[in-house]
Structure 1
Amino acid sequence: MGLLTFSLNLTLDGCVDHQEGIADDETHAFFTQLMNESGAMLWGRVTYEMMEGYWPAVARGDTEAPAAMREWAVKLEAKLKYVVSSTRKDFPWNNSHLIAGDLRTAVSKLKDATPDGVLLGSGKLAAALDRLDLIDEYRFLVHPRIAGHGPTLYQGGLTSTRRLELISAKPLRCGAVVMHYRRAR
């Protein structure tokens, strides 16, 4: 069974607005490596739609982008992508598949079928999956910014506190810190 790893950009005050992070070669290289280590991506519909609206054009070369962003886009194009949605059924982006039915059952089956693990990149979906005790690891890129607004990580709350074990912490040149935690079970 593969691990379900939740990874996201966030500011020091917990803001997960994708426009608040530092998007440079080093941060894109981090996420490219993380994606390379995973067998599949998992998103909620809103995140999927944000991603499909930009990254395929970068992968095709239709949108100007630095080399690190283009590398991410090309690899993302080839990666298996799974989407949880109750409102959308058609996902035409290359290698995209709907996750339907009972969330616990469907995501557990996905983990079982993906020995290299699944990389989760949606905040609201992460909260739902964490309430079901399905997230195994957390790899956050914490940016040296205080946004002063939301949305924030786990804004809707959890049923109980999650105890985590620090695996590693690595500062990047831009001042962001890669934090790797595993659930303490």
Structure 2
Amino acid sequence: MGLLTFSINLTLDGCVDHQEGIADDETHAFFTRLMDEAGAMLWGRVTYEMMESYWPVVARGDTQAPPALREWATKLQAKPKYVVSSTRRDFPWTGSHHIAGDLRTGVQQLKEATPAGVLLGSGKLAAELDRLDLIDEYKLLVHPRIAGHGPTLYESGLRSTRRLALIAAEPLRNGAVAMHYRRAVA
């Protein structure tokens, strides 16, 4: 069974607005490496729609993009993408699949079917999956910024504190720090 790894950009004050992070080649290389290591991507509908609106265009070469972005887009195009949604059923982007029904069962089955692991990239969905004790690892890219606004990580709350063990911390040249945590064993 593969691990479910939650990965996201966030500022020092916990803002997960995708426009607040540093979008440079180093950041894209970090996320490309994470995607390469994973067997599938997992998103909520809102994140899927944001990704679907831009990355297929880049992958096809229909818009100008730097090499790091084009590499990400091409690899993302080929990667299996799973989407949790109660309002949308049709996901035409290449390699996209809908997780319907019971969330715990659907994500557990995805983990079991994906030995290379699943990379989760949606903040709201992460909070819900954390409530269900389904997230195994956290690979957060913390940017040297204070946004002063939301959305923030886990703003909808958790029932109890989640204890984590630090696996690695790697500073990037752009000032961000890649943090790798695993759920601590009680």
TM (normalized to structure 2)?
A: 0.99
1:64 CA drift (Å): 1.1
1:98 aligns with 2:107: no
Identity in percent: 82
Give the secondary structure class of the aligned counterpart of 2:107: helix
1:63 CA drift (Å): 1.4
Give the secondary structure class of the aligned counterpart of 1:165: strand
Q: Which amino acid aligns with 1:146?
A: I
1:36 aligns with 2:36: yes
In structure 2, C-alpha distance between the alignment counterparts of 1:51 and 1:111, rounded to whole Å = 22
Quote the residue 1:130 is aligned against.
Answer: 130
In structure 1, C-alpha distance between the alignment counterparts of 2:34 and 2:180, rounded to whole Å = 11
In structure 2, C-alpha distance between the alignment counterparts of 1:115 and 1:69, rounded to whole Å = 27
4+ aligned runs moved over 3 Å, structure 1: none
Quote the residue 1:85 is aligned against.
Answer: 85
Cα deviation digits, residues 144-179 of structure 1 (max 9, x gap): 000000000000000000000000000001000000
1:65 CA drift (Å): 0.9
Q: How does 1:18-167 map to 2 (within 5 A)?
A: 18-167=18-167
Would you say how many aligned residue pairs link Structure 1 and Structure 2? 185
TM (normalized to structure 1)?
A: 0.99
1:125 CA drift (Å): 0.2
Q: Which amino acid aligns with 2:65?
A: A
RMSD value over aligned CA atoms? Answer: 0.4
Cα deviation digits, residues 41-72 of structure 1 (max 9, x gap): 00000000000000000101111111001100
1:141 CA drift (Å): 0.3
Quote the residue 1:183 is aligned against.
Answer: 183
